[in-house]
Amino acid sequence: MENRVRVRFAPSPTGPLHIGGVRTALYNYLFAKQNNGDFLLRIEDTDQTRFVPGAEEYIIEAFKWLGLNFDEGVGIGGDYGPYKQSERKPMYKQYALDLVAKGKAYYAFDTAEELAQKRLEAESQKTTFQYDCKTRQSLRNSLSLPQDEVQRLLDNGEAYVIRFKFDEGQTIEFDDLIRGHIKMESSLLDDKVLYKSDGMPTYHLANIVDDHLMHISHVIRGEEWLPSCPLHVSLYRAFGWEDTMPKFAHLPLLLKPDGKGKLSKRDGDRLGFPVFPLQWQDPKSGEISSGYRESGYLPEAVVNMLALLGWNDGTEQEIFSLEELVNKFSIERISKHGAKFDLEKAKWFNHQYLQKVSNSDLAKVYLDELNTKNIATTIDKVEQVVGLIKERCSFSNELWAQSDYFFVAPTTYAEKALKKRWKEGMGAIMTTISEHLKAIEDNDWAQKAEDFLMQYIQSNELNMGQIMNCLRLAVVGDTKGPNMLDIMRVLGKDEILLRLDTAIKNINL
RNA sequence: GCCCCGUUCGUCUAGUUGGCCUAGGACGCGAGAUUUUCAUUCUCGAAAUCAGGGGUUCAAAUCCCCUACGGGGUACCA
């Protein structure tokens, strides 16, 4: 256990899982698997006021979809449970008290309102109020109050919090696996609350106690935690756990594609790409946020794209399977600066992966979609269609737009193309062609139809583009689609003749 | 305000120990080719004086300092 790599992903269940969080989890996963270590899921629900029903289930489902499996934790179990901090509530107090006994922490009786008032006052004077070594003597706590008064308050059941006591004039130093050596002056740090008046620990206390108890070897988390890392390191030291303190790696953030700041919930639907792995409906407002899964992304593509947003293996390779990522990942090669999400690149990644999906697998997915549209067809036909149009799609949900004409005959014809191609006399030519096509025997019709067309165009000295495009217009209704002869093969004689007929009747020029 | 972290093509980035960088790749963009259409694909191209300024050195994108800009933090939120 001493040297075993154990990492954790520790989200709080306050809503859907942000894609930046997914990347953090991915990096943890890759690091754990590469080192034959453990990847745990711990739910950090110490703020009961922010609890959102369904969020925990969402998180578990999201990782299931992504194919990133936890070895231990909520939903799985393990030897170091419970893995949900609310269920660990009773064990935190003794640790906070231990720190008080050691003189590393103290009781504070100031109410949230009093402190808010202080902050307001400070703000009006363009300064900032901070609960620290300079101000704590003038506040209501066990450092400033006489001991018997403190005892009296505690005995009376007065509400209190426990705060960490930063000693003045110390330099706190630690190493970050991505950023190197980091220093901070203790006198600039505030006495953070470790234990709240509701009997719950804050993130700071809980994450140190749990990481210690769960034998976490590496803490890989977002950059937003870097400023509080000196506190965390100080806590390990105060507890006397420094020799087993995990190593830290603070990841750069995912930024908005356009403006400034980190990628947020609203950016996604504003800019037309998902910020969450799965679609999420807010239980209170009912507001829906789109997800990668529902937008037609393949989980492998999302994983690959996310892995490359802030990491690369130093070569020019960009497509990596999960297994390759596990083998090649390294914390040292993670970049230090934030990365803007690039929708176009994400599309490209998905296109790459969509091409790898077999026609039969893709056909199954597409058939389901067709069924919801009440389109009667066969898996055979769908598979043929998918084979023809797959490469023109980046997402599985583009299949319909690229192949609707295979299932529904056109009712309108692209006007511009008509003007350009369907010249005077074309109706007559098409009628002749139609008659000939009709005369061709059913057996191997498509091939014979092709032979006929080629020969017909040549012997009548017609323009190939002109004829084929008009045929396409008549059958497809537009200038899109794969090879015309492939379309004829899939649609078959009867359908082609029917569509030609309709077109000749409706297009009157 | 204060603290911490960062800064190479529009975007993601290569460049790790200074010289092979007239800075490479990918996405996107432009042009051409292929395709009877559209898309795909292929080829070519434009695109970063390495944020700016000072040093150090024979030599700096690479080391040091300053400035600017960006990001994060500054809650009884995580």
- Residue A49 inside a domain? The answer is yes
Whether the bond into A201 is cis, omega within 30 of 0: no
C1' of B36 to CA of A482 (Å): 11
Give per-residue pLDDT as tens, A139-158: 999 999 999 999 999 999 99
pLDDT at A416: 82
Q: Tell me the CA distances in angstroms from A151 to A103, A135, A469, one per residue in order.
A: 16, 22, 92
Q: Is A325 helix (H, G, I), strand (E, B) or coil?
A: helix
Nucleotides of B under 7 A from a protein CB: 1-8, 10-16, 24-28, 35-41, 70-78
CB A201 within 8 A of CB A195: yes
pLDDT at A193: 98
Strand B-proximal residues of A, range 263-292, CB below 7 A, are none
Strand B-proximal residues of A, range 70-109, CB below 7 A, are none
- Residues A104 and A171 both lie in one domain: yes
pLDDT of A509 > 70? The answer is no
**Residue A306 and residue A24: Cα distance in Å, rounded?**
9
Name the protein residue, with chain letter, whose CA is nearest the C1' of B37.
Answer: A479
Closest-lying nucleotide for A161 based on CA to C1':
B76
- CATH number, residue A470: 1.10.10.350
- Residues A151 and A60 both lie in one domain: no
Domain that holds residue A35: 6-74+208-255
- CATH number, residue A334: 1.10.1160.10
- Residues A269 and A235 both lie in one domain: no
The residue written with tokens 């039969």 in the block is: A360
C1' of B66 to CA of A182 (Å): 21
- Residue A203 inside a domain? The answer is no
Closest-lying nucleotide for A391 based on CA to C1':
B40
Asked if residue A416 keeps its beta carbon closer than 7 A to nucleic acid strand B, the reply is no
Q: Tell me the CA distances in angstroms from A268 to A254, A256, A272, A307, A398, one per residue in order.
A: 12, 9, 6, 19, 19
pLDDT at A266: 84
Closest-lying nucleotide for A480 based on CA to C1':
B38
DSSP structure string for A23-82: HHHHHHHHHHHHTT-EEEE-B----GGG--TTHHHHHHHHHHHHT---SEETTTB-TT--
- Residue A201 inside a domain? The answer is no
Asked if residue A193 keeps its beta carbon closer than 7 A to nucleic acid strand B, the reply is yes
C1' of B52 to CA of A338 (Å): 21
Asked if residue A47 keeps its beta carbon closer than 7 A to nucleic acid strand B, the reply is yes
Give per-residue pLDDT as tens, A5-54: 999 999 999 999 999 999 999 999 999 999 999 999 999 999 999 999 99
Give per-residue pLDDT as tens, A282-299: 999 999 999 999 999 999
Asked if residue A34 keeps its beta carbon closer than 7 A to nucleic acid strand B, the reply is no
Asked if residue A350 keeps its beta carbon closer than 7 A to nucleic acid strand B, the reply is no
- CATH number, residue A227: 3.40.50.620
pLDDT of A1 > 60? The answer is no
The structure tokens listed for A201 are 């620990």
- Residues A106 and A249 both lie in one domain: no
pLDDT at A330: 95
In chain A, % of residues over pLDDT 90: 81
C1' of B36 to CA of A95 (Å): 78
The one catalytic residue in A265, A381, A423, A448 is A265
Mean pLDDT for A218-242 is: 97
- Residues A57 and A127 both lie in one domain: no
Asked if residue A159 keeps its beta carbon closer than 7 A to nucleic acid strand B, the reply is yes
- Residues A347 and A388 both lie in one domain: no
**Residue A475 and residue A326: Cα distance in Å, rounded?**
49
Sequence-distant (≥ 6) Cβ neighbours of residue A34 within 8 angstroms? A326, A327, A329
C1' of B2 to CA of A138 (Å): 21
pLDDT at A506: 85
CA atoms within 13 A on the CB side of A451: 7
**Residue A5 and residue A23: Cα distance in Å, rounded?**
19
User: Order of strands across the sheet with A161-164?
Assistant: A105-108, A161-164, A193-195
Give per-residue pLDDT as tens, A126-138: 888 999 999 999 9
- Residue A167 inside a domain? The answer is yes
- Residues A346 and A363 both lie in one domain: no
Asked if residue A184 keeps its beta carbon closer than 7 A to nucleic acid strand B, the reply is yes
- Residue A79 inside a domain? The answer is no
pLDDT at A124: 84
Name the residue with higher pLDDT: A374 or A417. Answer: A374
Give per-residue pLDDT as tens, A382-433: 999 999 999 999 999 999 999 999 999 998 888 888 888 888 788 888 999 9
- Residue A29 inside a domain? The answer is yes
DSSP structure string for A86-151: GGGHHHHHHHHHHHHHTTSEEEE---HHHHHHHHHHHHHTT-----STTTGGGSSBTTTS-HHHHH
* Listed residues A150, A169, A195: the one ending a domain: A195
> CA-CA-CA-CA torsion for A440, A443, A449, A455, nearest 10 degrees?
-80
- Residue A80 inside a domain? The answer is no
User: Mean pLDDT for chain A?
Assistant: 93
- Residues A348 and A270 both lie in one domain: yes
- CATH number, residue A133: 3.90.800.10
- Residues A349 and A363 both lie in one domain: no
Which one, of A3, A71, A19, lies nearest residue A42 by Cα? A71
pLDDT of A2 > 80? The answer is no
**Residue A278 and residue A295: Cα distance in Å, rounded?**
9
- Residues A270 and A361 both lie in one domain: no
Mean pLDDT for A189-197 is: 96
Asked if residue A489 keeps its beta carbon closer than 7 A to nucleic acid strand B, the reply is no
DSSP structure string for A149-167: HHHHHHHTT---EEEE-PP
CB A63 within 8 A of CB A21: no
Q: Is the dihedral of CA A41, A44, A48, A52 positive or negative?
A: negative
- Residues A348 and A294 both lie in one domain: yes
Active site residue A265: yes
Asked if residue A340 keeps its beta carbon closer than 7 A to nucleic acid strand B, the reply is yes
pLDDT at A418: 83
* Listed residues A312, A338, A353: the one ending a domain: A353
Say how many domains are in chain A: 5
Sequence-distant (≥ 6) Cβ neighbours of residue A486 within 8 angstroms? A388
Mean pLDDT for A438-450 is: 89
Q: φ and ψ at A106, to 5 degrees?
A: -150, 160
Give per-residue pLDDT as tens, A75-123: 999 999 899 999 999 999 999 999 999 999 999 999 999 999 999 988 8
pLDDT at A414: 86
pLDDT at A508: 67
- Residues A397 and A435 both lie in one domain: no
- Residue A459 inside a domain? The answer is yes
Asked if residue A339 keeps its beta carbon closer than 7 A to nucleic acid strand B, the reply is yes
Q: Is A274 helix (H, G, I), strand (E, B) or coil?
A: coil
pLDDT of A259 > 80? The answer is no
